Amino acid sequence: MKKNKGVLSLLSVLVFFSACITTKQQTDPKNLVIREQGSFAVGGTKTTEQGSFDLNNALKPQGQTFHGDHAYAFYQIPVKAHKYPLVFLHGAGQSKKTWETTPDGREGFQNIFLRRGFGVYLLDQPRRGEAGKSTVAATITPVPDEQFWFTQFRIGNYPDYFPNTQFPKDSASLEQFYRQMTPNTGDFDGNVISEAVSQLFNKIGEGILITHSQGGGPGWFTAIKNNKVKAVVAYEPYSSFVFPKGELPSPIKSAGLFGELKGTEIPLTDFNKLTKIPIVIYYGDNIAKEPTKIWNKDHWRSGLEMARIWAATINKHGGDATVVHLPEIGINGNTHFPFSDLNNVEIANLLSKWLKEKGLDK
């Protein structure tokens, strides 16, 4: 008996260790453990050309269909996922690449939040990237404009980097940043985009919408259209701040290259839907505090000012909107892309903290 128990004991220990060894690679915290991943098209419209399809003249459009204006989504659901997935909508000239590997090769929000247990849905908006099938025609011309974007996106005032910039200063990173832009295959249409993103939420259920820049406008309208959007996180939204009829603020003059910034008037009943969910808006650094002739710093000054007026209006109507200007909480040097800047883990920590405070990471 004694001997047998000793053997059993030894055996159990060996089995235990062998189990540990065989599962080591699976349990290595560096690994991403994905329960499910895939992609699909969602939303969009279908048109049918008059006439009837002739199999013997199959290149003639008569009677043929065209499906377009859908969004493309690539999703990954980790093991033990939180209740609400994160849905990521890119900004102007960008694609879902925005949220993937950073220009200098570090992990972006896709991997960072997968590691934190969130399902992630990365979108190419209608008429962009892999959702390129547009119902409207477009002409695409290669226009040398990258030094403009370097400046507009507040990496610096080309060729100078801002002294405290969180953008990597090596040329390979800047090249990756320039190459991650991709053109519209049809005119930008915020309603087409919010329709497709709303259809995504109908498909996947409740979740949290995270927008960047130009994606901010369609983000507000998606949340108005679909109560499955349980929160909105907006990085540096600029245009399409929505206000109730009669409460539209005066346009904000700006030395920015897109001129003065106006709000958009919508019915109060629609506006009120944005007061039912928590909303947080983040802006980076090198944004002017007072009007200035430095056009990039003044462009984003007008955006930040409008965001503050908007949040105050949301809160006046009983909502929960917060505007965070990162330098005011001691986080300096961020560009228009805080989520891929050198300090993007700190930016992610800030979001995780907010999600926890709002009970959105259950």
Restricted to residues 244-263, the positions that interact with its own copies (CB under 8 A) are 257
State which H helix or E strand residue 209 sits in.
strand 207-212
Classify residue 296 by burial, with Cβ atoms within 10 Å: 0-12, 13-18, 19+. buried
Q: How many CB atoms lie within 10 A of CB 358?
A: 17
Instruction: CB nearer to its own copies: give 133 or 358.
Output: 133
# residues contacting its own copies (CB under 8 A): 96
Q: Does 96 bind its own copies (CB under 8 A)?
A: yes
- Report d(CA 130, CA 70) in Å as an integer: 10
Q: How far is the CB of 3 from its own copies (least distance, A)?
A: 9
Q: Which two tokens stand for residue 219?
A: 């983000």
What part of residues 316-355 is at the interface with its own copies (CB under 8 A)? Answer: none
Q: How far is the CB of 204 from its own copies (least distance, A)?
A: 13
Residue 128, strand partner residues: 131, 184
Q: How far is the CB of 86 from its own copies (least distance, A)?
A: 16
Instruction: CB nearer to its own copies: give 220 or 337.
Output: 337
Instruction: CB nearer to its own copies: give 73 or 347.
Output: 73
Provide φ and ψ at 68, rounded to 5°.
-155, -175
- Report d(CA 56, CA 317) in Å as an integer: 62
What part of residues 188-207 is at the interface with its own copies (CB under 8 A)? Answer: none
Q: How far is the CB of 95 from its own copies (least distance, A)?
A: 4
- Report d(CA 195, CA 133) in Å as an integer: 16
What part of residues 66-95 is at the interface with its own copies (CB under 8 A)? Answer: 66-68, 70, 72, 74, 79-80, 95
Q: Which two tokens stand for residue 232?
A: 């909105």
The amino acid at 201? F
Instruction: CB nearer to its own copies: give 23 or 164.
Output: 23
Instruction: CB nearer to its own copies: give 67 or 289.
Output: 67
**Cβ within 8 Å of residue 14, ≥6 positions away:** none
Instruction: CB nearer to its own copies: give 25 or 250.
Output: 25
Side-chain-side CA neighbours of 12 within 13 Å: the count stands at: 6
Q: Which of 272, 295, 315, 358 binds its own copies (CB under 8 A)?
A: 295
Q: Which two tokens stand for residue 66?
A: 């065209």
Q: How far is the CB of 37 from its own copies (least distance, A)?
A: 6
What part of residues 98-137 is at the interface with its own copies (CB under 8 A)? Answer: 100-101, 105, 107, 111, 124, 128-137
Q: Among the candidate windows 97-105, 211-219, 283-291, 303-311, which touches its own copies by CB under 8 A?
A: 97-105
Q: Among the candidate windows 65-73, 224-232, 235-243, 300-308, which touches its own copies by CB under 8 A?
A: 65-73
Largest CA distance in the chain: 90
Q: Which two tokens stand for residue 19?
A: 């189990």
Instruction: CB nearer to its own copies: give 23 or 191.
Output: 23
What part of residues 130-189 is at the interface with its own copies (CB under 8 A)? Answer: 130-148, 151-152, 157-159, 175-176, 178-183, 185-186
Give the residue from 84, 83, 76 showing the smallest Cα distance to 35.
Answer: 76
Q: How far is the CB of 26 from its own copies (least distance, A)?
A: 4
Instruction: CB nearer to its own copies: give 101 or 239.
Output: 101
By DSSP bridging, strand 156-157 and strand 160-161 are antiparallel
- Report d(CA 98, CA 181) in Å as an integer: 9
What part of residues 32-51 is at the interface with its own copies (CB under 8 A)? Answer: 32-35, 37-41, 44, 46-49
